[in-house]
Structure formats: C-alpha cells, structure tokens
Amino acid sequence: MDWTALRLSLQLGALTVLLLLPIGIWAGRRLAYRDFPGKVVTEALVALPLVLPPTVFGYYLLVGFGAASPIGQVWQSLFDRPLVFTFEGLLVASVIFNLPFAIQPMQRGFEAIPREVREAAACCGMSPWRALMRIELPLAWPSILTAMVLSFAHTLGEFGIVLMVGGSIPGETKTIAIAIYDRVQAFDDMAAAQMSALLLAISLATIALTYGLSRRVGRQLG
C-alpha cells in the first residue's frame, strides 16, 4: 500500500471538490435559470470531458500549459516551478476535467426548484443571496452533494490525464491510480491488489451514496 500515493489522491480529490463547489453552484444556477444565446454551446462544452478521451485532453493540456507554452512560462516565472509535472498542474487539469460531474447534477438540482418558488422568495423580500442560502441550497443540496461525491470519486480514479501531464512523480503526481499501474509493472501484486480493492470499495460507496441521494431528491420536492 503506497500511503503517499493514497494521501496524494485524497488531497487531489478534496481540493478539486472544494474548488468545484463554488464554480458548480454558480454555473449550475446560471444554466438552470437563464436562457441565453449560446446556451446550447455552453452546455456542450461543459459536457465535453464526458466524451473526450483523457489522452486527448492530456495532449491539449501539455500543449497549452507545458514548458514551451506562454501560460507555462508565465507560471514558471511566477512560481519557479513548471505547471506540468506538478500537483498544481494536476489540480488544474482535475478541476477542468470534472466540470461536467460537478455542474450537471447541480444544474438538475436547481432546475428542479419550481420557478414560482424562487419568485415567491423574491416576493417575500429575500435578496438573491438570501434566497440562495435559505431556499435554493436547502432544496438542491442532494444534487450538490451528488456532484461533489461524483467529482471526488472520479478524481481518485483519473489515470490517463495524470499519466500524461503528471509524470508519475512520487509524492507529487503519483496518485493511487498510477501507483497501481506502477506496482503491476514492478511485479508487486500484493500492493496492486490492496490498492485496487480500496479504490473499488470507494467507488461502490460513491455509487450507493449517489443513488440514495437521488431518491431523496424525488421525495423532497414531490
């Protein structure tokens, strides 16, 4: 069991979720409540990582953020480290790649709130922020939690992008998924089996929690 890799994965998952929480709520709400020109394109872009092969994404990340790119060079001069092959680079990739897992469930959650209920909140004198905190979030929380749980689990399992952009550097970018791959190549079956079992358990727990929560959404507003 590669504890460093496990902690790295947990940290990556946790930070991804923390960053995606405000992003997801903001984007999910906007997409749920408003119709604007280009909305379909925006929704397609958000959904893109669902169908895009991770290696394609990894390739564009390397091109866009690598040492030779403008962004990469700015980053290097600011932080004295490259963006690729670092934990920060993985975090950036992870946040982008998990956008649909965060935004889509939250969007559904906000869409499920009847428009008149939100309008009633305004008529009661609640400012948009108050209405968000007192009415919308309590009603949409199962979807928000689903989004967070899905993003967390998905990050734990992310492999292709991490491999391409991270470089399997122990303690920096060698996540538990990479570690499993690495242990198999090193003929260390026991470690590989242990870590695989752990990830399997986490995935099952995620699915169970997600399904349980989506039933709750139905009951909440029914």
| Phi, psi (rounded to 5 degrees) for 121 | -60, -40
CA angle (76 as vertex; 70, 82 as ends), nearest 5: 100
| Segment lying near another protein (by CB under 8 A), choices 29-37, 44-52, 101-109, 178-186 | 178-186
Q: For residue 159, which of 143, 175, 148, 172 has the smallest C-alpha distance?
A: 175
| 168 binds another protein per the rule CB under 8 A | yes
Binding test (CB under 8 A) with another protein, winner from 66, 96, 160, 191: 66
| 184 binds another protein per the rule CB under 8 A | yes
Binding test (CB under 8 A) with another protein, winner from 49, 86, 146, 195: 86
| Segment lying near another protein (by CB under 8 A), choices 30-38, 41-49, 93-101, 124-132 | 124-132
Residue 161, Cβ density class (10 Å: 0-12 exposed, 13-18 middle, ≥19 buried):
buried
Q: For the window 22-61, what string marks contact with another protein as x by the rule CB under 8 A?
A: ----------------------------------------
| 114 binds another protein per the rule CB under 8 A | yes
| 160 binds another protein per the rule CB under 8 A | no
Helix axes 137-157, 99-111, angle to 10 degrees: 160
Q: What is the smallest separation between the CB atom of 163 and another protein, expressed in angstroms? A: 10
| 215 binds another protein per the rule CB under 8 A | no
| Residues 210, 183: Cα–Cα separation, whole Å | 31
Residue 165, Cβ density class (10 Å: 0-12 exposed, 13-18 middle, ≥19 buried):
buried
